[in-house]
Structure 1
């Protein structure tokens, strides 16, 4: 759809919301993120991040999750 922007969670600004459309990675990282509730189709909001590629905090539903920058870089969302 025109106007929809796909971006990695690591590149989102704090407060931005989007729907997970893809997890770019192998079976291991996909399984780990799925276990945390980060699955395609879910809506997430980026709450905060640290400087210099530190941890990223996201919210999905009523759950806040801190993930590493590398993991956040593999989660592709469609911004609202």
Structure 2
């Protein structure tokens, strides 16, 4: 699934970045690489930015960049 399909507050592990070298480089600069745990904080309306928690940082990325993140959602422990 892509990261924009997560629900707010849902955690996931990044499996891959599918957007070309420029997007891969930018994600690396922000600390997002395959294996990184991210939490979706929120999505702004009208295809606006998507906000993730990555470690202790909150990072806002454009919708297209967020859609390049293939993730595996963390299983809910009910």
Instruction: Give the TM-score taking structure 2 as reference length.
Output: 0.91
RMSD: 0.7
* Secondary structure in 1 matching 2:23: helix
Q: Which sections of structure 2, spanning at least 5 residues, go unmatched?
A: none
Q: 2:36 matched to which residue of 1?
A: 42
Decide which of 13, 17, 25 is 1:23's aligned counterpart. Answer: 17
Q: CA deviation at 1:13?
A: 1.0
Q: 2:62 matched to which residue of 1?
A: 68
Q: Deviations over 1:22-47 (max 9, x none)?
A: 00011111001110111110100000
C-alpha distance in structure 1 between counterparts of 2:29 and 2:64, whole Å:
17
Q: Does 1:14 pair with 2:11?
A: no
Q: Which sections of structure 1, spanning at least 5 residues, go unmatched?
A: 1-6
Q: 1:3 matched to which residue of 2?
A: none
Tell me the number of residue pairs that the alignment of Structure 1 and Structure 2 aligns.
Answer: 74
C-alpha distance in structure 1 between counterparts of 2:59 and 2:21, whole Å:
20
After TM superposition, which residue ranges in structure 1, 4 or more long, deviate above 4 angstroms?
none
